[in-house]
Structure 1
Amino acid sequence: MEVQPEKDKESEGTAHIDIVDDRPSPRIDGEPSPSLRDSKGWDGKLRIPKSALMSNPEALSDPEYSDDSNVLQGEEIRADENLLDSEDSEAEEIMCSHSRISSLPALRLERFKNVARICLRQNLIQDIESLDSLADTLEELDLYDNLISHIRGLDNLTKLTSLDLSFNKIKHIKHINHLKNLKEIFLVANKISKIEGLEGLDKLKSLELGSNRIREIQNLDSLKNLEELWLAKNKITELTGLGGLPKLRLLSIQSNRIRDLSPLKEVPQLEELYIAHNALESLEGIENNTNLKILEISNNQISSLKGVGPLKDLEELWASYNQLGDFAEVERELKDKEDLTTVYFEGNPLQLRGPALYRNKVRLALPQVKQIDASKLFYPSITQADMFLNLL
């Protein structure tokens, strides 16, 4: 958390687990490229440790169990009622996550005349409504993890710069292209099958559409200032449709069905490419992207680094779990990369065939590197002669 210099989209003060994170794996504290599951293989089930002591263990085994008889009688109120009464009417930020809010009108947000950011993550909101009174001040709207099916109710919110509707039930991108000040849109983990409805968003810099049902990159040509495009975990087969994005510097398209890198010649200015978990067998076509600084190609079937040679500015190469087996080629293709500080080769034949000598061989081939896989190298300057002795 898709993992990072980019914006942290984790929930505030909750125990919610995001199954999908469109952030690139190299940004997670030096960990190797993970799968798109939780590290413990979380599958949505509640798991109770065997050693746990519970006052009501029958709750786990009896489907008819209820503790209603132990509830003290009192006044029943709606979950949303009076929820924000303690907030200062001059507040510039309203944050209320995981509070079972189902109705925006019930919050009476019109009383907050200066609010610039609203964050109502992990609630039960189905409709975006009653926000028109905030049109003069509202800049950021975060409704991550609710029950929203349609994008509506944003007609007058023309000052919005950030919109997060991730983890909802949205099928179509509609009714937002009049929001000319938007700089970032987050629509991760919805049910979107087509990129559409974004024409005219001239200020948009970041678009996140990870974990949807998209099969084609399309309808992006009008986004002339787009810098970051996040498309992980979709069903995309080709890297076409990027030629109209002259400022695109980051593309995250992990866990798709990409086989051919040659269409990337349309975005020669690209600086970061995250394309792990695809169907790549070679890096042919990448040689045109000479501005690349970060290249993440883990979990493919790549057997050669041919194509990387022209990437003189490369700083990080993440190539774990491929079919690389030639140390001589590693040296030939990467040794001249003076800014290369990080390489990941674990899970390749060159590591699996001789794990005891693997790290020393990489150090010998690439003396400029400071991190190999998850471990940083803490040692003074080592000459090639010293490293040769370590191999004996």
Structure 2
Amino acid sequence: MRQNQISRIDFPSNIAETLTELDLYDNLISHIKGLEDFQNLTSLDLSFNKIKHIKNVSHLKKLTELFFVQNKITRIEGLDELTLIKNLELGANKIREIENLEKLAALEELWLGKNKIVEMKNLDNLSNLRIISIQSNRLTKISGLSALPNLEELYLSHNAITDLSGLESNETLRVLDFSNNQVSHLEHLSSLKNLEELWGSNNKLASFEEVERELKDKEKLETVYFEGNPLQMNAPALYRNKVRLALPNIKQIDATFVRV
């Protein structure tokens, strides 16, 4: 029931027992009410509404997916009993702090882009996390990830991060996106042997020697993005060849595939 003008959740109770997925994306809902009988829901999407508080969902214990993208939520709360959730999307809200997620041990994907978060913290109990997206926030450093042994994808673009320390324990990372930050040196990546994609556009990277030192040993690395850095802007005609020389096994530089 996407893109309507629904302002309150009011469904016949006789469908509650069999309904497993409910999508009310892009409506006018401001309060979560009317789901008392829908205890078999596994997926609930209330994105693009007017919700300010996460309430009245604790009884939905079978949920594995919960979407609150583009609402007016200021706090992560009311989720303690939803221990089966694997995918939680809270992007484009007004959240300032990562909190109250400790009991969501099954969580595999956490999407927090476009909020007001200044620090990555309170993630230690989420050892099953595979994907974290915290783009377009207010981060100045990478922290709080050392207890996440299964992390595969990390999206940090459009923050104010100045260096890449804090990733040393995340050896399972396949995708690292730190585009549009303020990183001036490519370093602290030596332990990331499983990297496949590195997105570092629009930073302050200037050294091809650092590119070679940090990435040449990454046998699985296929894609790098460095456009918008001094690496590319200072000598655009030579840039691609220099990256290829530093990383002879690379398959894609920025949006262009490398010809074998």
TM-score (norm 2): 0.98
Residue equivalent to 2:114: 233
Maintained 8 Å contact 1:131/1:153: no
Letter in 1 for 2:209: A
- Between Structure 1 and Structure 2, how many residues are aligned? 260
In the alignment, the residues of structure 2 paired with residue 288 and residue 196 of structure 1 have an alpha-carbon distance, to the nearest angstrom, of 29
Letter in 1 for 2:36: D
Is 1:129 the counterpart of 2:6? The answer is no
Unaligned runs of 5+ in 2: none
In the alignment, the residues of structure 1 paired with residue 12 and residue 74 of structure 2 have an alpha-carbon distance, to the nearest angstrom, of 28
Is 1:326 the counterpart of 2:207? The answer is yes
Residue equivalent to 1:81: none
Letter in 1 for 2:52: K
The 1:335–1:131 alpha-carbon spacing in structure 2 relative to 1, beyond 3 Å, is: farther
Root-mean-square deviation (CA), in Å?
0.8
Maintained 8 Å contact 2:224/2:254: yes
- Give the alignment of 1:189-338 within 5 angstroms: 189-338=70-219
Provide, for residues 141-192 of structure 1, a one-character-per-residue CA deviation record: whole Å limited to 9, x for no partner. Answer: 0000000000011111111111000000000001111111111011000000
Letter in 2 for 1:310: S
Is 1:158 the counterpart of 2:63? The answer is no
Maintained 8 Å contact 1:245/1:267: yes
In the alignment, the residues of structure 2 paired with residue 326 and residue 136 of structure 1 have an alpha-carbon distance, to the nearest angstrom, of 60
Residue equivalent to 1:350: 231
Alignment partner of 1:372 out of 253, 257, 260? 253
Q: Percent identity?
A: 61
Cα displacement (A) at 1:378: 2.8
TM-score (norm 1): 0.65
Cα displacement (A) at 1:250: 0.5
Alignment partner of 1:363 out of 228, 236, 244? 244
Q: Per residue, is there more helix in 1 or in 2?
A: 1
Letter in 2 for 1:286: L
In the alignment, the residues of structure 2 paired with residue 204 and residue 143 of structure 1 have an alpha-carbon distance, to the nearest angstrom, of 19
Cα displacement (A) at 1:306: 1.0
In the alignment, the residues of structure 2 paired with residue 341 and residue 163 of structure 1 have an alpha-carbon distance, to the nearest angstrom, of 36
Cα displacement (A) at 1:248: 0.6
Maintained 8 Å contact 1:248/1:267: yes
Is 1:178 the counterpart of 2:71? The answer is no
Larger Rg: 1
Secondary structure at the aligned position of 1:260 is classed as coil
Maintained 8 Å contact 2:119/2:143: no
- Give the alignment of 1:89-168 within 5 angstroms: 120-168=1-49
Provide, for residues 354-385 of structure 1, a one-character-per-residue CA deviation record: whole Å limited to 9, x for no partner. Answer: 11111011111101110000011232xxxxxx
Cα displacement (A) at 1:131: 3.6
In the alignment, the residues of structure 2 paired with residue 154 and residue 165 of structure 1 have an alpha-carbon distance, to the nearest angstrom, of 12
Cα displacement (A) at 1:273: 0.3
Cα displacement (A) at 1:268: 3.2
Secondary structure at the aligned position of 1:229 is classed as strand
Secondary structure at the aligned position of 1:262 is classed as coil
Cα displacement (A) at 1:130: 2.4
